[in-house]
Amino acid sequence: MFMDKFGYLLSEIPTLIFIVWFAVRFFQFRRRQKNQPSYSETDKQLLFGTARQRPAKTTVYLRLALAVIAVTTIGVLEILVLAPLGAAIITTSLLLTSTVIVHHLL
């Protein structure tokens, strides 16, 4: 039982590392094509800056509930469709789609 799970991890970890490595390199490539630094002040403000204006609490809660429902629904569908491809593919897909959904709704 343990060896089966360990073997599964050994086959999935390199795939996940490759996907993360490819995403970082692709990001750097796109930035270099536009003659931009890999990490800029705009990125710092976007990631660690404060929000400009606070929306009403009811709006935030409604959008948050909609985001949770959307991410859960899409996540279940992705797991059903992508389960045969492995955990690394599912993880990457869930991360990307969840990020897009939350970005657009919140």
Total domains present in the chain: 2
Average pLDDT over residues 11-33: 88
Same domain as 60, residue 40: no
Distances (CA, A) of 71 to 35, 66, 68, 75, 79: 35, 9, 5, 6, 12
Q: What is the pLDDT of residues 59-101, one digit of tens each?
A: 889 999 999 999 999 999 999 999 898 888 898 899 999 999 9
Same domain as 46, residue 56: no
pTM to 2 decimals?
Answer: 0.59
Same domain as 106, residue 57: yes
**Among residues of the chain, what percentage have pLDDT more than 90?**
34
Same domain as 3, residue 46: yes
Range of 44's domain? 1-50
